[in-house]
């Protein structure tokens, strides 16, 4: 019998934010394949999981996925596609040999996670693949909790966007919605500050860096944050009063 594939959301950093189901599935899976942002680098998802589960008796693999933009509905960069295919081939071999494989992923698998690209690629190579996706606490909810700022109440409308996309769309979205969650902000802080200032939304914005981790920082002064430089794990909430 083939093994089962699991994409496991491990939450935003604090191991206590892993669900009971995530912990159970990771404990029972003999193979973990975790994403690493850098070649020979460590995997954040793996260190979160290792905060709760002893991975010593497991076959723990990491796989490097280049950090390049992927536009929905368009072919990805060949280097990125190759990384997905290589990871899928490694996972497929374990599944064909009857071993369950868990893919721990930061936050929730449904939100900007490599897990779904691997899943789609795997579906093409493993016939009748048995799988389960375990949702996790996203950085979105964790950022709201850390900042003490709700995301939507009553009839308010919320939107989540990656901050790295086109300025005109960004301005329109910032104008149209009541609450805007901006992810992937770390490289575009200057641009964001200019737009937020222009729309008089700077005072309605909070940025949380490394939400739920021990060195978490809640930043209301975005200009100071931009000058000091912020970590990739940073999420902004713009909530209109």
Ligand X SMILES: C[S@@+](CC[C@H](N)C(=O)[O-])C[C@H]1O[C@@H](n2cnc3c(N)ncnc32)[C@H](O)[C@@H]1O
Site for ligand X in 124-143 (CB under 6 A): 138-139, 143
Q: Can residue 106 be called a binding residue for ligand X (CB under 6 A)?
A: yes
* Helix or strand holding residue 35 (H, E): strand 31-36
**Only segment of 54-62, 68-76, 187-195, 226-234 that touches ligand X (CB under 6 A):** 226-234
CB 205 within 8 A of CB 238: yes
- How many Å separate Cα 214 from the centre of its chain? 18
Backbone angles phi, psi at 77, to 5 degrees: -55, 135
Out of 211, 222, 237, 239, the only residue in the binding site for ligand X (CB under 6 A) is 211
Q: Can residue 100 be called a binding residue for ligand X (CB under 6 A)?
A: no
Site for ligand X in 6-45 (CB under 6 A): 12-13
Of 182, 176, 179, 174, residue with least CA distance to 156: 179
Residue nearest to ligand X (CB): 107
* Residue 19: CB minimum distance to ligand X, A: 13
Burial status of residue 101 (CB atoms within 10 A of its CB: 0-12, 13-18, 19 or more): buried
Out of 208, 225, 226, 230, the only residue in the binding site for ligand X (CB under 6 A) is 208
**Only segment of 16-24, 151-159, 196-204, 227-235 that touches ligand X (CB under 6 A):** 227-235
Nearer to ligand X, 37 or 125 (CB): 37
Structure tokens given for 148: 């003490």
Q: What angle do CA 77, 82, 85 make, to 5 degrees?
A: 130
How far is residue 80's CA from residue 100's CA, in Å, rounded to a whole number?
25
Q: Can residue 144 be called a binding residue for ligand X (CB under 6 A)?
A: no
Q: Which residues here bind ligand X, judged by CB under 6 A?
A: 12-13, 106-108, 111-113, 138-139, 143, 183-184, 208, 210-213, 232-235
């Amino acid at each position: 019998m083939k093994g089962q594939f699991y994409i496991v959301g491990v939450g935003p950093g604090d191991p206590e934010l892993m669900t009971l189901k995530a912990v159970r599935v990771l404990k029972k899976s003999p193979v973990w394949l975790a994403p690493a942002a850098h070649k020979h680098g460590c995997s954040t998802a793996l260190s979160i999981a290792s905060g709760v589960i002893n991975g010593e008796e497991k076959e723990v693999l990491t796989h490097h996925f280049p950090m390049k933009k992927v536009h929905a509905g368009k072919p990805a960069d060949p280097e990125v596609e190759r990384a997905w295919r290589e990871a899928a081939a490694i996972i497929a071999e374990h599944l064909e040999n009857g071993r369950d494989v868990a893919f721990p992923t930061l936050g929730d698998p449904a939100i900007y996670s490599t897990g779904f690209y691997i899943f789609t690629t795997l579906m093409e190579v493993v016939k009748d693949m048995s799988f389960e996706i375990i949702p996790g606490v996203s950085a979105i909810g964790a950022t709201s909790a850390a900042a003490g700022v709700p995301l939507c109440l009553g009839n308010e409308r919320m939107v989540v966007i990656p901050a790295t996309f086109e300025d005109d769309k960004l301005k329109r979205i910032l104008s149209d919605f009541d609450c805007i969650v901006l992810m992937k902000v770390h490289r575009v802080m200057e641009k964001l500050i200019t737009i937020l200032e222009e729309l008089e939304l700077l005072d309605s914005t909070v940025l949380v860096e490394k939400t739920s981790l021990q060195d978490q920082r809640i930043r209301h002064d975005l200009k100071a944050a931009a000058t000091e430089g912020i970590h990739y794990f940073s999420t902004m909430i713009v909530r209109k009063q």
